[in-house]
Structure formats: structure tokens, C-alpha cells
């Protein structure tokens, strides 16, 4: 597994990380054994960055079970506070996360999103306190833009930001990526497969079950969904020409940027993990990148 520097003066982390939202049930129910087996398969195959959150339903508790038997010592464990960003809320969330994960500390603790209702100064100082107390090795933010990161940095330095980044969602390229590169902030890119739109798995008319969050997302409905399926078909032609799968193309494309420390991909089964590994060795020529950009220029904008 390829490793990359995690921000300025940070540790090495695996270029592919395990995003634990799906095993928590947010994209359909996952049996406990399957979830545990999937986490362990990721670590066994070299994907040792594990990212979860307070918000991720049963994810933390499942990871806590999966990390028994020596697996905790083999991974870089990240989680997030997701709801109440007051000092009291963050401290309580951390204790609850440690209990669910069955650990004494995490490697990275993040604020899940920007919320103007909570003073960022108080939130960041609380994270810094947790770092000083050894509850977390590093602190970070998630889904922050450049201006929000600038405000957070006024209170405390942080290691990383975790934004959405994939072939469809490229907003961070204009300002956020250059800012992170300048400040030495590592990037954990989430939703690398656009919640499945970049897997080539779906056909027009597919209906997601009610317990899958995508059943209520506009991108997965009607003409918009058909448009994304057509986009996936075009990108699949590029992948076929390279002898790889579409999902491997999507992962490798995100990793083309050295600013990206790790891309987070979810999985519900151990077999899905093996599919991701083929992306590590993929490289692109300038001509291939231009071909991809030409396809993406006409992507749906929903």
C-alpha cells in the first residue's frame, strides 16, 4: 500500500482510507459480522486509515468490535464530533466515541462540519485541549472551505481537512486545495466514488431501498440519475482503455494530486476492499487527463 505524508510534519498514512459511513447503515443495513469482517479485511490488505464519526449511526461501535485482537495497533483511527460543537458537547462526544470504539485515544479527532451557531474559537480550543490531554494525537476539520479554515487557524493549528472530492464534485480545486498546500494541511478526500455514481454499478430505473440515504437524494432520481449513469458509461470507456475498472479510475484520479493525503472509500463487504487496491499503481498521461476533463466538462451539475 502506498503511503503519503499527512499534512506538514504529520505521520505517513495510507493513500486509500476506509470510510465507515456505509457499515453504520447509512446506505442500507449491514450485518454486524459483515461489517467487522470488512474493517478487518481493509486493515489486513493495507488500508489502515479508518475514518468514522459520531454521526455514523452504529459505525463506531462496530469498529470498536473490529479493532479487538490487535487490530487497533495496526490502524490510524479517526473520528469526528458531529452535532454539538460547544465545549461541553465536544467533550461529551469524545468520551462517548472512546467508549464506543473501546479505545483510550484516537489518532485524529475532527469537527464534522462548519456551524455558525457555535463559536469556532471555543470549538478549536476544546479540540486543542483534547490533544494536549492525549485523547487524540491530531486534530482536524471536515467540510470546511478556505475562509472557514482561516478562521479556525486563528485559534489552533490543525492537521487536516476532510472535504468531498471526486470527479463530479471539484469545487475545492479553486481555493481550498491551494490553501491547504500553502498551510501544510493534509486532505482526507471523502465521497471519492460519489456515493456510488462513479462505480458503473447502476442502470436507469434502479430504485434504492428506503433505508439507503440515496433514496432521497436528487442526484439519484429521474433525469439527473440518468445523466450521471451516462457520465459513468463515458468514463468507463477510459477505464477499459487502461485495463482497470471505473472505481479504480475514480480513486486513481483523485490520488493524482499530491495535495491529497488519502482518499476515503466505503465498503460493505471484504470483496469490495480488494477492488480498490488496483487503483494504487495507476498513473495518467496528460492526454488521458485531458480526455477525462473533456468528459467531465459536460457532467450534470445537480
Q: Which residues are catalytic?
A: 56
State how far the Cα of 262 lies from the Cα of 201, in Å rounded to an integer.
24
DSSP helix/strand/coil, 142? strand
State how far the Cα of 250 lies from the Cα of 248, in Å rounded to an integer.
5
DSSP helix/strand/coil, 283? coil
Strand pairing category for 186-189 and 106-111: unpaired
CA 109 to chain centre: 14
State how far the Cα of 247 lies from the Cα of 262, in Å rounded to an integer.
16
Q: Which residue has the cell 493524482?
A: 256
State how far the Cα of 9 lies from the Cα of 184, in Å rounded to an integer.
8
State how far the Cα of 78 lies from the Cα of 93, in Å rounded to an integer.
14
State how far the Cα of 214 lies from the Cα of 295, in Å rounded to an integer.
24
C-beta separation of 119 from 148 below 8 A: no
Dihedral sign for Cα 105, 100, 128, 162, please: positive
**Residue 192, all three cell numbers:** 471519492
State how far the Cα of 125 lies from the Cα of 148, in Å rounded to an integer.
15
**Residue 245, all three cell numbers:** 475498472
Give the chain's radius of gyration (CA, Å): 19
Amino acid at each position: 500500500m502506498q503511503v503519503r505524508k499527512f499534512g506538514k510534519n504529520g505521520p505517513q498514512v495510507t493513500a486509500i482510507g476506509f470510510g465507515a459511513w456505509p457499515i453504520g447503515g447509512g446506505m442500507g443495513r449491514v450485518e454486524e459480522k459483515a461489517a467487522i469482517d470488512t474493517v478487518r479485511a481493509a486493515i489486513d490488505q493495507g488500508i489502515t486509515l479508518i475514518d468514522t464519526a459520531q454521526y455514523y449511526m452504529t459505525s463506531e461501535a462496530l469498529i470498536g468490535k473490529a479493532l479487538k485482537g490487535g487490530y487497533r495497533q495496526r490502524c490510524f483511527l479517526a473520528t469526528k464530533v458531529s452535532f454539538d460543537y460547544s465545549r461541553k458537547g465536544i467533550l461529551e462526544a469524545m468520551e462517548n466515541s472512546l467508549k464506543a470504539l473501546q479505545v483510550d485515544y484516537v489518532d485524529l479527532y475532527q469537527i464534522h462540519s462548519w456551524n455558525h451557531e457555535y463559536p469556532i474559537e471555543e470549538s478549536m480550543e476544546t479540540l486543542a485541549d483534547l490533544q494536549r490531554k492525549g485523547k487524540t494525537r491530531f486534530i482536524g476539520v471536515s467540510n470546511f472551505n478556505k475562509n472557514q479554515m482561516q478562521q479556525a487557524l486563528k485559534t489552533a493549528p490543525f492537521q487536516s481537512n476532510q472535504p468531498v472530492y471526486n470527479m463530479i464534485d471539484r469545487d475545492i480545486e479553486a481555493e481550498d486545495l491551494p490553501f491547504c498546500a500553502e498551510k501544510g494541511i493534509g486532505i482526507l478526500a471523502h465521497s471519492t466514488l460519489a456515493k456510488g455514481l462513479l462505480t458503473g454499478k447502476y442502470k436507469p430505473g434502479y430504485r434504492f431501498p428506503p433505508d439507503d440515504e440515496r433514496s432521497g437524494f436528487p442526484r439519484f432520481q429521474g433525469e439527473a440519475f440518468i445523466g450521471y449513469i451516462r457520465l459513468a458509461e463515458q468514463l468507463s470507456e477510459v477505464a477499459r482503455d487502461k485495463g482497470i475498472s471505473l472505481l479504480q479510475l475514480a480513486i486513481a484520479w483523485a490520488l493524482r494530486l499530491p495535495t491529497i493525503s488519502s482518499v476515503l472509500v466505503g465498503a460493505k463487504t471484504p470483496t469490495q476492499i480488494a477492488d480498490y487496491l488496483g487503483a494504487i499503481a495507476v498513473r495518467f498521461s496528460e492526454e488521458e487527463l485531458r480526455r477525462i476533463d473533456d468528459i467531465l466538462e459536460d457532467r450534470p451539475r445537480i
